[in-house]
Structure 1
């Protein structure tokens, strides 16, 4: 007998175990829980969650310039400038000439910024573990793999999509 484990979903039937529309409610509840715990974990960060995301992107992805940082995070460049100003004032990042274009600026983390990011990453990891406390380690790993796979599939299909903008449009 052939396995149906990898069979594609039928496009004319509800998801197994869901009433049509339930997936949105479940994802919304997960997002709400994540937002609350994430914001608490990074409360001391200038610009809160967005500041954390900016600092994390600067450290882990090293965008070539401010425009690349803006594109990666889906933040309007004019808004990004003000948020970078806040991080510069806090001593967490600095603007340096971009190596490929001296007219452009690259945002780099200071030692203080890297230290704070390391501390906050521990708190964020603990918050994510708290969010997933109802799952065992195998289920957590499965969820992480599936969410990653699905989000990357969507990102490839809609490369300019901004997840923050999508959430704003839900209301």
Structure 2
């Protein structure tokens, strides 16, 4: 029997073929990357700058090394990215109150305001991306993605997620 290109595939009927997941994830990631890059237009250091600023504001990391470990960014690259955010007045390096030799990265008031503005843009980009799902389906997807991401990160903490984005 010859299958017409318009006939539902096995995956559309519910049976996933090997390789379907990577294809679907690739399509989703490319669509998200396009929307996210548009949402990040104008922020210093782009997507990575946003991620660093968000981590500093919400995660309160003890030092630069913790930021790099959390985001999977090499320490030498991270230094340049943080320098860019410092030069833009979004973050600053302050002495760690516990260890004066160490520097803590903290958001400035301008950095916090900038993050708030960009969070609105990210929310719009995410809503656009997920518009084909019901709110419950979108929440389920977010929960499952977080669970899988956390599991993978724990199993392979040195993997750099930014590289995956860079190669698309």
Shorter-chain TM band = 0.7 to 0.9
What's 1:137 paired with? 135
Aligned residue in 2 for 1:30:
28
Kindly tell me the number of residue pairs found equivalent between the two proteins. 156
Gapped regions of structure 1 (runs ≥ 5): 1-13
Matched, 1:49 2:47: yes
- CA-atom RMSD in angstroms: 1.8
Shift of 1:68: 1.2
1:98 is aligned, of 89, 96, 99, to 96
Alpha-carbon spacing, 1:75–1:159, altered in 2? closer, same or farther (3 Å) = closer
Compute the TM-score of the two structures, normalised by the length of structure 1. Answer: 0.84
Between the aligned partners of 2:60 and 2:98, the Cα distance in structure 1 is 13
Per-residue deviation, residues 79-114 of structure 1 (Å, max 9, x unmatched): 111111111111100110112221111110000000
Shift in CA distance, 62/112, structure 1 to aligned 2, threshold 3 Å: same
Give the secondary structure class of the aligned counterpart of 1:94. strand
**Does the C-alpha gap of structure 1 residues 75 and 130 become closer, same or farther in structure 2, counting only changes over 3 Å?**
same
CA deviations on 1:44-79 (whole Å, 9 max, x unpaired) are 100100000000000000110111111111111111
> What is the DSSP-based 3-state SS (H/G/I as helix, E as strand, rest coil) of the residue aligned with 1:107?
strand
2:101 alignment partner, SS class = strand
Q: Secondary structure at the match of 1:135?
A: coil
Q: Distance in 1 between matches of 2:103 and 2:83?
A: 13
Quote the Cα distance in structure 2 between the aligned partners of 1:39 and 1:65. Answer: 27
CA spacing shift, 1:35–1:167, aligned 2, 3 Å: closer
Shift of 1:148: 1.6
**3-state DSSP class of the match of 1:101?**
coil
- Tell me the residue number matched to 1:125: 123
Deviation at 1:158, TM superposition (A): 2.4
Runs of 5+ unmatched residues, structure 2? 1-10
